[in-house]
Amino acid sequence: MKFQKAVKADLNSIMNIVRQAQSYFKDHEINQWQDNYPNLETIINDIKINTVYVLLKENIVVGIATVIFGLEKNYEYIYNGEWVNNAEYVVIHRMAIDPNYKGIGLSSIIIKNIEQICLEKGIHSIYLC
């Protein structure tokens, strides 16, 4: 397995996984990733700013995750609570697995790879959206 930043050539595979996840959520009445989000423009931008990663199995994209280092605008203000600390953090968005590869622990592999990247950067907090 390889975990690496996505490139433009991965776009179709990424969008296929996104559409399958959207369909799954809709079929299971989960109000997430609906209303055309994430869309092609979102994923193109993620690739452009180097925040989307792919998990490859035998050179096939089987999982995706957008990983944002630095401040995340969605977390600037916390209402009715507070963070445990103010340390640097990473945020994981838009994580999904190709349905043909679900149930074999690929999400755990993605998280472990992100943890390793974080440790290499001295980051010890991960938020998952």
Looking up residue 111, the CATH number of its domain turns out to be: 3.40.630.30
Residue 87: exposure state from Cβ atoms within 10 A (0-12, 13-18, ≥19): exposed
Q: Residues with Cβ < 8 Å from 115, sequence gap 6 or more? A: 126
Domain with 81, as residue range(s), is 2-128
The phi, psi pair for 105, rounded to 5°, reads 85, 20
Residue with the two structure tokens 């592999």: 109
Task: State both tokens at 55.
Answer: 């998990």
Q: 51-73: per-residue pLDDT in tens?
A: 999 999 999 999 999 999 987 77
Using only C-alpha atoms, the chain has a radius of gyration, in whole angstroms, of 15
Q: 25-54: per-residue pLDDT in tens?
A: 999 999 999 988 999 999 999 999 999 999
Number of domains, the chain: 1
Least confident piece of the model among 26-35, 52-61, 81-90, 103-112: 81-90
